Amino acid sequence: MADIFRGKVTRNKTFVVSGYAVTRKGYTRSAQVTVEALNRDDAIIRATAQLRWEGLTHFKALKVLEITTAYSSKLH
């Protein structure tokens, strides 16, 4: 999916966001989410929203990794 960002066409990247969050019972647990976003900050926001949807609150991101894939060359 392509988005227009400051006049340029950019593509979403895949990020793995790791950290910890609080459950409904008040326990702290680790959390890891894979999201697609434009940049690191957007990835944290989307991960927080996804965890909130799953019932976890007060998410603290500790590590954000961008997942890259190697493109294989196609011989024609």
The CA distance from 11 to 49, in Å, is 20
Q: Which class in CATH covers the domain with range 2-67?
A: alpha beta
Tens of pLDDT, residues 37-73: 999 999 999 999 999 999 999 999 999 999 987 664 4
pLDDT at 12: 85
56 CB neighbour count, 10 Å cutoff = 19
What pLDDT does 1 receive? 52
Does residue 7 surpass a pLDDT of 70? no
pTM: 0.77
**Domain extent listing, the chain:** 2-67
Q: Hey, what are 63's tokens?
A: 């590590």
